[in-house]
Amino acid sequence: MPYRDAQFLPDHFYHLYNRGNNRESIFFEPENYGFFLQRFVEYFPSDQAEIHSYCLMPNHFHLLIRLLSGLDYSSAMQHFGISFSKSINARYGRVGHLFQGRFKAKHADSTEYLLHLTRYIHLNPRFAGLVERAEHWEFSSYRDYVCPGEIPEITRPKRREISGIYRRPPVATEFVLSHFDGIEDYRQFVESFAEEQMKQTEDQLWKG
C-alpha cells in the first residue's frame, strides 16, 4: 500500500510522487521520460483520472491528479510502478528496486494547497539547477500552462527500432488557471516562490 494521509476518493485531488532507491536515477535517457508518461496513461486513462500537473526529474517524479471513478487507484499505481521498474531494469540490465519503497500520495485537501503544489511541482527543475527557466524543462506540465500550443511531443531516438514519438498526456489546466487573471498572473504566482519555501515544502513531503 502507498503512504498516504487519506483514502482515495472520486473528485478529489492527490499528489503522487516517489524517488529512486537510494535517491538514484529512475530516468537514464530522454526516451525514459516519455515512456513513463505513456505507461502512466495506460494505467490511469483520462476518463478515470485527470492530470493537473506533473514533473519528471532524473531521480524522482511528481503527479497531481484528480480522481474520477471506476478505478482501484492504489492498485493501479502499484502495478504501474512495477511495470515501469521491470521495463527499465530489462532495458538497462539492472537488478533490484528502482524506487525507494512504495509511492507516496498526499491528499490536496484545499484549493490553496493545490495551487501551492502546482508551483512547487513546476519549479523543481529550476531549483535543481537543470534549467534557467521552468518552462525550458521538457518533462513537465508547466509548458501546458504558460506556453499552450507550443508543446512538441517527446521524440524517441531514431537510432532504435522504437523510433517515433511519445504523445504527451492531456493536462487539465482550466481549474488552476480559473483562480488567476490569465496565464501571466499564474506565471508570476509560480515564479515568485522563494527558495526557502521550496525547501520547506520539500522537507515536508519527503520526511519519514
25-40 pLDDT tens trace: 999 998 899 999 999 9
Q: What pLDDT sits at residue 151? A: 61
Mean pLDDT of 52-81: 93
Q: What pLDDT sits at residue 133? A: 93
**Is the model's pLDDT at 184 over the cut of 60?**
yes
104-150 pLDDT tens trace: 999 999 999 999 999 999 999 999 999 999 999 999 999 999 988 76
169-183 pLDDT tens trace: 899 999 999 999 999
**Is the model's pLDDT at 160 over the cut of 80?**
no
Q: Which domains does the chain have, with CATH numbers?
A: 3-206 (3.30.70.1290)
CB 133 within 8 A of CB 126: yes
Q: What's the rounded Cα separation, in Å, for the pair 177 and 188?
A: 12
Q: Give SS3 for 108.
A: strand
**Is the model's pLDDT at 51 over the cut of 60?**
yes
80-103 pLDDT tens trace: 999 999 999 999 999 999 999 889
Q: What's the rounded Cα separation, in Å, for the pair 62 and 148?
A: 21
Chain position carrying cell 506540465: 141
Around Cβ 61, how many Cβ atoms within 10 Å?
Answer: 26
CB 26 within 8 A of CB 98: yes
pLDDT band for 161, please (50, 70, 90 cuts): very low
User: What are the cell numbers at 83?
Assistant: 511495470
Strand ranges in 3-57 using DSSP code E only, listed in sequence order: 3-4, 13-19, 49-57
Nearest Cα residue to 117 out of 136, 141, 143? 141
